[in-house]
Amino acid sequence: MTRTIVASATKEVVIGFDQPFCVIGERINPTGRKKLAAEMVAGNFETVKKDALDQVAAGATMLDVNAGVTAVDPNATEPDLLVQTLQIVQDLVGVPLSIDSSVSAAIEAALKVAKGRPLINSVTGEDEKLEAILPLIKKYDVPVVAISNDETGISEDPDVRFEVAKKIVQRAADYGIPAHDIVVDPLVMPIGAMGTAGRQVFALLRRLREELKVNTTCGLSNISFGLPHRHGINAAFIPMVIGAGMTSAIMNPCRPQEMEMVRGANVLNGTDANCYTWIMTYKDHQPASSGNSNASAASSSSGAQASAAGRRRGGREARRTRV
Amino acid sequence: MTRTIVASATKEVVIGFDQPFCVIGERINPTGRKKLAAEMVAGNFETVKKDALDQVAAGATMLDVNAGVTAVDPNATEPDLLVQTLQIVQDLVGVPLSIDSSVSAAIEAALKVAKGRPLINSVTGEDEKLEAILPLIKKYDVPVVAISNDETGISEDPDVRFEVAKKIVQRAADYGIPAHDIVVDPLVMPIGAMGTAGRQVFALLRRLREELKVNTTCGLSNISFGLPHRHGINAAFIPMVIGAGMTSAIMNPCRPQEMEMVRGANVLNGTDANCYTWIMTYKDHQPASSGNSNASAASSSSGAQASAAGRRRGGREARRTRV
């Protein structure tokens, strides 16, 4: 059974096929958030702290930490800013962290101060990148996200993306890094631009799980880019990728609809033992106002729901006595 | 490609792997609804009419019609009541219907007056049942729901349930009924009582699709029986069964959360061409009030959503230029 172990100073988390889905909170990331970027450059980490606490409160399993503010020379400035951000976050929350940078020097600087066993986000199939990152992964004995693109870019052909992932796993093995420390991101395309994007990724996830036996992740919200009511598409995507074998995602845990689908899919996937988390989370759940529901008032009371289910089962069972 | 064709007097619907998920509205069913049963017995079909119109308005692909009121002798009373109910519904709405009864005489009486090509719900693997129903299926050239239980009851072993389904398909073939006119119900157990119920049904659905090449259905809400916030479990279950290959379900279309997941899963499964239905349904969608969301106000505006996605993609793409 594939087990990717990540840890903070005090808490260990296993990413695996038999584990609850690992929600990697994506909010601590200044890319595209000008205000946050300006704050971080000015040494103000109040938004970072709030994002950290909010995401953990919302149920994040771990947090991604990215300090990629726009800079003339990221190699000069990003290491210090990433180290500073990482230290603030790891002193504030107990969940494991993901060190997210495209600057190898920043990743190494962060690894030097990180407590526990962080996830590194990320390496690609590009030779230059592999040669820069894999020695760090080996040296610090940490797991890494492997994005399935290479020098030729992101292929629209899922077979090519599978081969890139396989190449990364093989190259990692050359460095003595086991496959269970590689978490493959098969790359999710926007379904609005490519109608096969969903089926592609479901098929890829199965192959990655069955053939490469690796854990998997993705930037979840990419799937809904450009569509109205993106949260609905994201919410439907979550149970489908979990059903197809995905074991983690980089996503926004502060969205209740998406987190509800994570918890529901964990129940249905058999990774929420005795439905414990579901029951604890929703035992006092009050149905939202009926909104555009056409259901009668009676059918939205929980008593009526229970009898409705009994009815259906009763109906089916009762039939067997009659011909 | 397996295609099960159902039709009303005016409208044909195809149930198939490459088709949008077929939502069979379950509401017209007096089992467990004492008030509705009393109305129907008294010749009052106002609730039946309302349920028919509401379900079609909510997006049902077809409607199940059941007139199984409690009676001393269902064989004497159910045929007339089912015929009457069916005629009222088929005169009122344009969608295809499913004739739902455990009384063979009622099914035959309904078949004599049904317009188009209704689905028959249902036959089981019991010999007596097969001998009663399959000749009607052949005579009237209609498709049938095959429930995978037999004289021994409902097995908890999915392999046994698969064999029962296979037996029904083979027995049907003996009558000259093609497999594409058998819609198998693999039987969904409550996940609260059996933690493997989800994975069982996902595996069964794959086998039914790949080995028997049949369409499939289920009484959807059984999965959440006994749990709090059942709609959340039902909603998560829908994308998972669609991803596993299920092509229809008997469910309540008047629940917006469940129907949203049907529409989202159709997009992701590639059966909502160009996301047309999604866009038409949700183009003016307003996010609900943030409720227990911890997301900042800024991140819930659609503009911020779009830039957030661009950010993630931009981040990944941008990385390739740096090492």
Q: How confident is the model at residue A312 (pLDDT cuts 50, 70, 90)?
A: very low
Same domain? B10 vs B96? yes
Same domain? A105 vs A253? yes
Tell whether B310 is within 8 A of chain A (Cβ). yes
Cα A37 from Cα A198, distance rounded (Å): 33
Same domain? B294 vs B219? no
Q: How confident is the model at residue B300 (pLDDT cuts 50, 70, 90)?
A: very low
A138 and A175 Cβ atoms separated by less than 8 Å: yes
Same domain? B178 vs B305? no
B20 and B60 Cβ atoms separated by less than 8 Å: no
For residues B232-254, give the mean pLDDT. Answer: 98
Same domain? B203 vs B227? yes
Helix or strand or coil: residue A64?
strand
Same domain? A277 vs A290? no
Compute the nearest-CA separation of B226 from chain A (Å): 7
Pairing state of beta strands A248-251 and B12-16?
Answer: unpaired
pLDDT tens track for B9-23: 999 999 999 999 999
Same domain? A89 vs A151? yes
What is the predicted pLDDT for the residue at B42? 95
Tell whether A322 is within 8 A of chain B (Cβ). yes
For residue A309, what is the DSSP state?
Answer: H
Same domain? A230 vs A249? yes
CB-based contacts of B34: which residues, under 8 Å, 6+ apart? none
- Domain span at residue A312 reads 286-323
Same domain? B222 vs B172? yes
Q: What is the dihedral of CA B3, B8, B12, B17, to 10 degrees?
A: -30
**Hey, how many other C-beta atoms are within 10 angstroms of the C-beta on B92?**
14
Cα A97 from Cα A142, distance rounded (Å): 11
Burial B118-146 (b: 16+ CB within 10 A, else e): bbbbbbbbbeebbebbbebbeebebbbbb
Backbone phi, psi, residue A175, to 5°: -90, 0
Q: Please indicate whether residue B300 or residue A36 has the higher confidence score (pLDDT).
A: A36
CATH number at residue B122: 3.20.20.20
Does A254 contact B282 at a Cβ distance shorter than 8 Å?
Answer: no
B149 and A320 Cβ atoms separated by less than 8 Å: yes
Same domain? B73 vs B38? yes
What is the predicted pLDDT for the residue at B76? 85
Does B256 contact A129 at a Cβ distance shorter than 8 Å?
Answer: no
Q: Which residue of B has its CA nearest to A105?
A: B323
The mean of the pLDDT values for chain B is 90
B132 and B122 Cβ atoms separated by less than 8 Å: no
Cα B46 from Cα B49, distance rounded (Å): 5
Cα A269 from Cα A200, distance rounded (Å): 21
For residue A291, what is the DSSP state?
Answer: T
Number of domains, chain A: 2
What is the predicted pLDDT for the residue at A288? 65
* pTM for the whole structure: 0.90
Count how many residues are written for chain B: 323
What is the predicted pLDDT for the residue at A71? 78
Q: Which residue of A has its CA nearest to B67?
A: A315
Q: Chain A 35-94, CB below 8 Å of chain B: which residues?
A: 54-55, 57-58, 66, 68, 74-75
- Tell me the two tokens of residue B113: 């007056």
What is the predicted pLDDT for the residue at B288? 65
Q: What is the ipTM of this complex?
A: 0.89
Q: Which residue of A has its CA nearest to B301?
A: A229
Same domain? A275 vs A311? no
- Nearest CA among B90, B72, B52 for reference residue B254: B52
Does A254 contact B295 at a Cβ distance shorter than 8 Å?
Answer: yes
Cα A93 from Cα A116, distance rounded (Å): 13
Q: Please determine, for residue A108, whether its predicted confidence score (pLDDT) is greater than 50.
A: yes
For residues B286-304, give the mean pLDDT. Answer: 43
Q: Chain B 116-145, CB below 8 Å of chain A: which residues?
A: 122, 124, 126, 128-129, 132
Does A238 contact B242 at a Cβ distance shorter than 8 Å?
Answer: no
Q: Please determine, for residue A289, whether its predicted confidence score (pLDDT) is greater than 90.
A: no
pLDDT tens track for B137-178: 999 999 999 999 999 999 989 999 999 999 999 999 999 999
Compute the nearest-CA separation of B19 from chain A (Å): 14
Q: How confident is the model at residue B321 (pLDDT cuts 50, 70, 90)?
A: very low
Same domain? B56 vs B169? yes
Q: Give a three-class secondary structure readout of B258-310.
A: HHHHHHHHHHHCCCCHHHHHHHHHHCCCCCCCCCCCCCCCHHHCHHHHHHHHH
The sign of the dihedral angle between the CA atoms of A7, A10, A14, A19 is negative
Tell whether A240 is within 8 A of chain B (Cβ). yes
Find which of A114-123, A154-163, B151-160 is predicted with most confidence, using mean pLDDT.
A114-123
Terminal CA-CA length for chain B: 48
Does B32 contact A310 at a Cβ distance shorter than 8 Å?
Answer: yes
- Exposed, middle or buried by CB within 10 Å (0-12, 13-18, 19+), for B106? buried
Q: Please determine, for residue A320, whether its predicted confidence score (pLDDT) is greater than 60.
A: no
For residues A206-216, give the mean pLDDT. Answer: 97
Pairing state of beta strands A12-16 and A3-7?
Answer: antiparallel
